Amino acid sequence: MERNILIGIGIVTVVFFAGGLAAFTLFSLTQQTKKLPDFGEIPDATLLRHDNKTVNLRDYKGKVLIFGFIYASCRDAGFCPLLSQDFAKIQDILGDKLGKDAMLISVSFDPKRDSPEMIKGYGEAYGADFNKWHFLTGYGGYETDLNKTLDFFDVYIIGTYQMTMDDGMNMTMYYHNWRVGLVDQNGHLRYKYGKSDWSVDQLISDVNLLL
């Protein structure tokens, strides 16, 4: 009698856990297909890096890539400065996974002003560890490949405006969209975050689907 009760409890327990596991697996699969479509392979585009070396986007294949689009002169607190602060947070959260299994890549869309020295200084200001977080620009003759990259990731400049800086100099600023792109190990773009669906937590959870 007692033995039958124990067997009964055993069966109920197994069914309970198997059901839970099946539900969890189904949930994970639907999350994966729902969240991460395939927007195709990143372009064959060569840009200049913060260390003054050229790099092709496809050279980064094999790692999960988090692309962000910025320009160093941006003073719009809700855009580039915020995105770079968020990248600094991601650098902390992902820690040693970066450099090995994943990379942060900030791409400047201001090739006239953002020289390698400029974006290097910009990276330093945000506490970038250059083994984990790279900065790329179209400066010095790489504008065609930069434009190819911006088209692929749907980065656009809507217009320009003049801003007077502290030193009295007038600077041209851009109205631009917010864009972060998540790229898998095969170099395929799997998600494009705009302003409305961006958060560091969401990005981290999506990165973990790919890692």
Shortest CB 49 distance to Cu ion, Å: 20
| Residue number with the smallest Cβ distance to Cu ion | 74
Rounded to a whole number of angstroms, the minimum distance from the CB of residue 145 to Cu ion is 21
Nearest to 138 by CA among 128, 126, 122, 150: 150
CB atoms within 10 A of CB 157: 13
Residue 80 as a binder of Cu ion (CB under 5 A): the answer is yes
Number of residues that bind Cu ion (CB under 5 A): 4
- Position 74 contacts Cu ion (CB under 5 A): yes
57 contacts 42 by C-beta, under 8 angstroms: yes
**Comparison of 100 and 195: residue with beta carbon closer to Cu ion:** 195
Whole-angstrom distance, CA of residue 97 vs CA of residue 78: 28
End-to-end CA separation in angstroms for the chain = 50
Q: State yes or no: residue 150 binds Cu ion (CB under 5 A).
A: no
* Angle (deg, nearest 10), helices 200-210 and 2-35: 110
In angstroms, give the least distance from the CB of 21 to Cu ion: 45
Q: Which stretch binds Cu ion (CB under 5 A): 4-12, 13-21, 66-74, 109-117?
A: 66-74
Question: Is position 60 an interface residue for Cu ion (rule: CB under 5 A)?
Answer: no
- CB nearer to Cu ion: give 120 or 176: 176
User: Based on CB atoms, which residue is closest to Cu ion, 72 or 207?
Assistant: 72
Contact 150, 174 (CB under 8 A): no
CB of 75 to Cu ion, least distance (A): 8
Q: Which stretch binds Cu ion (CB under 5 A): 26-34, 61-69, 80-88, 130-138?
A: 80-88
79 is an interface residue for Cu ion by CB under 5 A? yes
Give min distance, CB of 180 to Cu ion, in A: 13
**Which residue in the block uniquely carries the two structure tokens 């395939």?**
38
For the chain, where are the alpha helices, taking DSSP H only? Answer: 2-35, 80-94, 116-125, 143-153, 200-210
180 contacts Cu ion (rule: CB under 5 A): no
Dist. CA 117–CA 140, nearest whole Å = 12
Output the smallest distance, CB 104 to Cu ion, in A: 17
Taking the C-alpha atoms of residue 176 and residue 62, their distance in angstroms, rounded to an integer, is: 30
Give residues in contact with Cu ion (CB under 5 A). Answer: 74, 76, 79-80
